[in-house]
Structure 1
Amino acid sequence: MDPATAFRAFTEEIDRWWLPGPINAFDSSRLLTMRIEPGVDGRVLEIYDNGDALELGRITVWEPGARLVFRSGVDDTEVDVRFASDGDGTRVTVEQYVLPDGDADTAGLFWPKIAHWLVPWCRAHDAARPVHRLAPVSVGLHYEDPAAAARWLADAFGLRSWDRIPAEGDAPDWIELHVGPVAILLFPLDGKRSPEPVTHQTWVYVDDLDAHLKRAEAAGATIVRGIGQDGYRAYTAEDLEGHRWTFAQAPPAMRPVDGAGR
């Protein structure tokens, strides 16, 4: 793929290569699509189901096929994306840095981590290809070494990733594997959300989170964490044997599926 095509894929098709997931947006429970408006002063946006949008950034440099720079709208950072010919393909370099006098403690340096989602999209590039859709159930697994576990699960069980299997030495904050549309999220043991030993946890996406919580409370479920907003709107409960379940508000882009939990 040449730089001009890669640039268009990055900007015009961000809604195609940006992976869905419970922690891949500032408000995934309402996320409808992603968008980059072309030209200087264009916006990088999360578009929500009610027509609202969160401005993730504002473009300061727009050089089609060569360079894109945008100032973050959610923290004190700037993102510089460069496109250059590299053999038969294109090298895309993503740098995100804290601005002078910016607050480094609140900086979310996530763009370099997620930009490699573009690679598999461009490798099998087809603008008409359907976007990724998540199933209404996901599973979270806690490992001492999630990266090593991901490599083993890929080799032994054939699990795949829309993103990438981490290489030796990589230590991403989270890893998403998939079996069809079902996401399997890998987390470190020391990164669990509870002081109690937790080895696995199931995510279920529901259409009406508030009504679902009331039903669980009425049935006597132990509510570990009430409804909160952490990139996704969700609550966590224990079943009759103490297993953890997280119920999250289904995003509008998640197509309704017949079955339990909907």
Structure 2
Amino acid sequence: MTEPSATAAVEVAIDPATAFKVFTEEIDLWWVRGPINFWDSARAVEIRIEPGVGGRILEVYADDALERGVITAWEPGARFEYRSSTDDTETTVTFDPTAAGTRVTVVEALVPGGTDAVYSWQNVLHWFPAWVARRDIAPHQVREVGRLAVALSYDDPAAAARWLHTVFGLETWDRVPEEGRQPSWIELHAGASSIILLRRTESGAPGADHATWVYVDDLDAHFAHSQENGAKLLSEVHQHGYRCYEAEDLEGHRWTFLQARPTMQ
């Protein structure tokens, strides 16, 4: 059963007017460009909020765009609301003054009679304070992940993420999950390179607990080349936020090949 609403909140050390401006105008700078963070990560060029009532929240591609929502209320420095174009929700984002700065709260609510809700802001909003904390010293340019990543499987990925962060000092553009929280996707970083932590589902084969992820320019051509040259294909090309296929090499090591975004040079 779909829950009727979801709420997430963060605090940032800037005033509400600035927080509103940074949130809406710089969303493409603080939005993390991981492989699951767009509806179509293979084609995404930008995420954009058009200001004012009637403005759109867009996932921009090279030749078109996906409308993710339409703004229904716009009060700079205080709040904005939008009606989702991809599910049956309405979202309200408020900016309330606090002693230390601003509390940003996002409430996603199922519309009356609605049945489809994708409550994603609870997984997204914590990217915002990370950008606010570094925006005065960081280049104002999009942070793009590298073309090579490593995926590691653990019985407890969240515990592994905390250990890797504490002991090896691995950082994350996302967040290290706290005790008792087990996200379905955990991504650490070493510079622009990703270390993806997944739940272990099998054992025995050389690729059972690790895999190499590679972004390529033309996934379909790469798939055809691998097929023609004897790779053991574990899947066809498929899409779930990102387009990819899985294969094994000559000694059974797992490889995942993904379609690179246009912004991945």
Question: What corresponds to 1:43 in structure 2?
Answer: 56
Question: What corresponds to 1:234 in structure 2?
Answer: 244
**Shift of the alpha carbon at 1:124?**
1.6
Question: What corresponds to 1:5 in structure 2?
Answer: 18
Quote the Cα distance in structure 1 between the aligned partners of 2:133 and 2:258. 32
Report the 3-state secondary structure (helix = DSSP H, G, I; strand = E; otherwise coil) of the residue aligned with 2:171. coil
Given the two structures, how large is their TM-score scaled by the length of structure 1? 0.90
Quote the Cα distance in structure 1 between the aligned partners of 2:120 and 2:207. 28
Report the 3-state secondary structure (helix = DSSP H, G, I; strand = E; otherwise coil) of the residue aligned with 2:140. coil
Deviations 1:13-61 (A, max 9, x none): 11100011111101111110110000011100000012x0001111111
Corresponding residue to 1:246 among 256, 259, 262: 256
Question: What corresponds to 1:116 in structure 2?
Answer: 126
Within the alignment, does 1:66 sit opposite 2:78 as a pair? yes
**Shift of the alpha carbon at 1:246?**
1.0
Quote the Cα distance in structure 2 between the aligned partners of 1:68 and 1:145. 38
Contact persistence 2:67–2:85 (CA under 8 A): yes
Contact persistence 1:79–1:111 (CA under 8 A): no
**Shift of the alpha carbon at 1:187?**
1.9
Report the 3-state secondary structure (helix = DSSP H, G, I; strand = E; otherwise coil) of the residue aligned with 1:212. helix
Quote the Cα distance in structure 2 between the aligned partners of 1:169 and 1:66. 33
Corresponding residue to 2:228 among 211, 218, 223: 218
Shift in alpha-carbon separation, 1:96–1:197, aligned structure 2, 3 A: farther
Within the alignment, does 1:99 sit opposite 2:100 as a pair? no
**Shift of the alpha carbon at 1:243?**
1.9
Quote the Cα distance in structure 1 between the aligned partners of 2:92 and 2:212. 37
**Shift of the alpha carbon at 1:201?**
2.0
Quote the Cα distance in structure 2 between the aligned partners of 1:138 and 1:128. 23
Within the alignment, does 1:26 sit opposite 2:39 as a pair? yes
Report the 3-state secondary structure (helix = DSSP H, G, I; strand = E; otherwise coil) of the residue aligned with 1:24. coil
Report the 3-state secondary structure (helix = DSSP H, G, I; strand = E; otherwise coil) of the residue aligned with 1:45. strand
Contact persistence 2:207–2:252 (CA under 8 A): no
Report the 3-state secondary structure (helix = DSSP H, G, I; strand = E; otherwise coil) of the residue aligned with 1:57. strand
Contact persistence 2:234–2:248 (CA under 8 A): yes
Contact persistence 1:7–1:83 (CA under 8 A): yes
Quote the Cα distance in structure 1 between the aligned partners of 2:127 and 2:134. 12
Runs of 4+ aligned structure 1 residues displaced above 3 Å come to none
Query: What are the ranges of 5 or more consecutive residues in structure 1 without an aligned counterpart?
Result: 256-262
Question: What corresponds to 1:78 in structure 2?
Answer: 90
Aligned length: 248
Report the 3-state secondary structure (helix = DSSP H, G, I; strand = E; otherwise coil) of the residue aligned with 1:202. strand
Quote the Cα distance in structure 1 between the aligned partners of 2:207 and 2:81. 43
Q: CA RMSD in A?
A: 1.7
AA at the equivalent of 1:246: T
Question: What corresponds to 1:144 in structure 2?
Answer: 155
Given the two structures, how large is their TM-score scaled by the length of structure 2? 0.89
Quote the Cα distance in structure 2 between the aligned partners of 1:207 and 1:225. 19
Report the 3-state secondary structure (helix = DSSP H, G, I; strand = E; otherwise coil) of the residue aligned with 1:147. helix
**Shift of the alpha carbon at 1:239?**
1.1
**Shift of the alpha carbon at 1:135?**
0.8
Quote the Cα distance in structure 2 between the aligned partners of 1:120 and 1:132. 13
**Shift of the alpha carbon at 1:252?**
0.6
Quote the Cα distance in structure 2 between the aligned partners of 1:189 and 1:244. 13
**Shift of the alpha carbon at 1:62?**
0.8
My pick for the range that moved more, 52-61 or 233-242, is 233-242
Deviations 1:149-173 (A, max 9, x none): 1110011111001121112222222
Contact persistence 1:58–1:73 (CA under 8 A): yes
Shift in alpha-carbon separation, 1:198–1:102, aligned structure 2, 3 A: farther
Contact persistence 1:96–1:112 (CA under 8 A): no
Contact persistence 2:216–2:260 (CA under 8 A): yes
Query: What are the ranges of 5 or more consecutive residues in structure 2 without an aligned counterpart?
Result: 1-13
Report the 3-state secondary structure (helix = DSSP H, G, I; strand = E; otherwise coil) of the residue aligned with 1:225. coil
